[in-house]
Chain A
Amino acid sequence: MTSRSEPDLAARGYTFSELMVAAAAREIGDGELVFVGMRLPMLAFLVARRTHAPSAVGLFENGVVRETPAAELLYTMGDPPNLRGATQCGEMTGVMALLQQGRVDAGFLGAAEVDRFGNLNTTWGYRHKEMQRLPGSGGACDIACLARRTVVMLAHERGRLCERVGHITSPGYGTGNGWRRSQGLPQASGPAAIITTLGVLRFGHDGEAYLASVHPGVSVEEVLANTGWTLRVADELMETPAPTDSELRITRELDPNHFWTR
């Protein structure tokens, strides 16, 4: 996800994408119901299941519930290997019912833009000062509204971590503390973490993101320079733990040609 990955791979033995997968896997607790999505979150779910969360259950918007890894690399959640051996192939309303009941613990989301309160935009982009239409919500808005917590993953660029998103496709904490309740969103819901190519951001009680950890070899200054608002830094800033040997081994078994973890 970043051009820095290749030299880092040689120096450290893992790519930033692999580090992000490990960090995302640790956001999943054992026994939890998780809206998985595709790409890096999918790998993270499978790594979590094979390490610390063997009874986590994966949900997909097409109605599929799955507890075991698919036999092949997936390009979409509807690929035949994701349906064979699934726990259940049902309707979209079936998995969305669990989400709306508040029974889904975590959901993973990507985004073109995220802002200081964790609001996401996947509808309109801006490049060379021109508006670009992006594909839209998919299930992201539903998950952002209704999952007990959400985890956002994206490349850390100043244009993508911005003060205020131009369009709220998927709501985070809006304008801050109390906003979600005022909109009528469930009490136990909202973004828990933003995992980027440079570090991990978490959210204070006021709903604003702060830098909780930096990845190995990344400076705080580099993170701040690549963030579009004045990012607060945790008093006890951590270094994101490197992927363990078993996390790396499993990630590479699942994605042997680094299709998703370039």
Chain B
Amino acid sequence: MPAESKLMSMRDAIARHVPSGSMVLLGAQLEQMIPFAAGHELIRQSRRDLTLVGPISDILFDQMIGAGCVARVMAAWIGNVSAGVGYCFRRAVERSVPRRLEVVDYSNFTMAMALHAGALGVPFLPTYATLGSDLLKKNGNLREFSSPVSEEKLVAVRALRPDVAILHVQRADSQGNGHIWGSLGVAVDGARAARKIIVVAEEIVEPEVIASDPNRTLVPGFLVAAVVHEPGGAHPSPVQGYYGRDHAYFSQYHEQTRRLEDFEDWLAHWVVQVSDRQEYRKRLGDGRVESLAVKEHAFSAPADFGY
């Protein structure tokens, strides 16, 4: 008997698998393939007291903080990568607007180590990174200790096991076996560390397509709870082979969120008053979607799995 499909709408995936209070990993591939569509659905479903985990997540973390969904953020860098600071993040930290925010500062490597430890099922992993820094002093999940096998100081990075990892992938089958290519960041460790995975795919393909290139299967379907088919779901971040980065959108966000009332207008226009990703794409307009499309394909050479 064929396995039951895990395909569902973004609305259902978020409703079933991401309750308020969850620890959610987003933006595991750094500036590529950030699951904006999932973040916007979390905002629309009024999730509260989330803990956000991720190295960077560009402006998605800023939006979710501004929308009041977030109690705690565990990250290495929070802002707008190509335009500068995140104003919602600043308002939350400096003035508790719209609510108080706990920030747990990591470096990129210690965030990767925390997820790697979670993936390996051990309580911590050692590193030299952050020795001497104020990150080590202030982040309770980083603890200095003496090496048991050498005369050295090390930092124990406590394992993180997010409740849910939301991973955007290029293609997946209906069981959630997902192909990712491009910058991987912490996606592989993040997928293994999380208790549950939601896969968001640009394309749904037959299982044979995934099985034809198992080295590229970085998300194994048996760990996946839900599969969402959401073309354009990572906009304005890029998806290699599908669309480019909408640089203008990031600078416009920077300009349009400097003041609190302007952010509220931004949020209403792009998230709250939008029912789903199709409507979001309509708001972007055909011209804008078209301008980001792949201009010149660059296919890799096929790998022979024959024997």
Q: A61-B108, A76-B245, A136-B75 are in contact. Are A171 and B183 (CB under 8 A)?
A: no
Query: Is A89 on the interface with B (CB-CB < 8 A)?
Result: yes
**A 113-141 to B, binary, CB cutoff 8 A, 1 in contact else 0:** 00000000001000000111111111111
B8 proximity list for chain A (CB < 8 A): none
Q: Contact at A141–B245, with CB atoms within 8 Å?
A: no
Bound CA span A112–B202, Å: 38
B250 proximity list for chain A (CB < 8 A): 75
B78 proximity list for chain A (CB < 8 A): 135-136
B113 proximity list for chain A (CB < 8 A): 93
Residue of A80, A132, A135, A168 near B245 (CB, 8 A) is A80
Q: Contact at B185–A92, with CB atoms within 8 Å?
A: yes
**B 128-141 to A, binary, CB cutoff 8 A, 1 in contact else 0:** 11111111000000
Residue of B90, B128, B247 near A75 (CB, 8 A) is B247
Q: Contact at A132–B90, with CB atoms within 8 Å?
A: yes
Residue of A77, A83, A142, A179 near B132 (CB, 8 A) is A179
Query: Is A204 on the interface with B (CB-CB < 8 A)?
Result: no
Residue of B82, B85, B94, B108 near A138 (CB, 8 A) is B108
Bound CA span A133–B62, Å: 13
Q: Contact at A78–B133, with CB atoms within 8 Å?
A: no
Query: Is A29 on the interface with B (CB-CB < 8 A)?
Result: no
Query: Is A20 on the interface with B (CB-CB < 8 A)?
Result: no
In chain B between 201 and 253, which residues have their CB closer than 8 angstroms to a CB of chain A? 237-238, 240, 244-245, 247, 250
Q: Contact at B132–A137, with CB atoms within 8 Å?
A: no
Chain B nearest Cβ from A26, distance in angstroms: 27
Smallest Cβ-Cβ distance to B83: which chain A residue: A75
Query: Is A8 on the interface with B (CB-CB < 8 A)?
Result: no
The size of the chain B interface, using a CB distance under 8 A, is: 60
A135 proximity list for chain B (CB < 8 A): 77-79, 85-86, 89
Query: Is A244 on the interface with B (CB-CB < 8 A)?
Result: no
Q: Contact at B81–A184, with CB atoms within 8 Å?
A: no
Q: Contact at A61–B30, with CB atoms within 8 Å?
A: yes
Q: Contact at B109–A99, with CB atoms within 8 Å?
A: yes
Residue of A79, A90, A169 near B133 (CB, 8 A) is A169
Query: Is A226 on the interface with B (CB-CB < 8 A)?
Result: no
Q: Contact at B29–A96, with CB atoms within 8 Å?
A: no
**A 160-185 to B, binary, CB cutoff 8 A, 1 in contact else 0:** 00000001111100100001100111
Chain B nearest Cβ from A185, distance in angstroms: 5
A47 proximity list for chain B (CB < 8 A): none
Query: Is B76 on the interface with A (CB-CB < 8 A)?
Result: yes
In chain B between 146 and 166, which residues have their CB closer than 8 angstroms to a CB of chain A? 152-154
Chain B nearest Cβ from A151, distance in angstroms: 18
Query: Is A159 on the interface with B (CB-CB < 8 A)?
Result: no
Q: Contact at B132–A168, with CB atoms within 8 Å?
A: yes
A142 proximity list for chain B (CB < 8 A): 107-110, 129-130
Query: Is B15 on the interface with A (CB-CB < 8 A)?
Result: no
Q: A78-B32, A184-B131, A186-B128 are in contact. Are A89 and B186 (CB under 8 A)?
A: no
B-to-A contact residues, CB < 8 Å: 29-32, 55-56, 58, 75-79, 81-82, 85-86, 89-90, 93-94, 103, 105-110, 112-113, 116, 127-135, 144, 152-154, 181-189, 237-238, 240, 244-245, 247, 250, 298
A-to-B contact residues, CB < 8 Å: 60-64, 75-80, 83-84, 89-93, 96, 99-100, 123, 130-142, 144-146, 167-171, 174, 179-180, 183-186
Contacts A80-B244, A136-B77 known; 4 new A-B pairs at CB < 8 A: A61-B108, A133-B89, A136-B79, A142-B109
Q: Which 5 A-B pairs have the closest CB atoms?
A: A78-B31, A184-B153, A135-B79, A183-B132, A171-B132
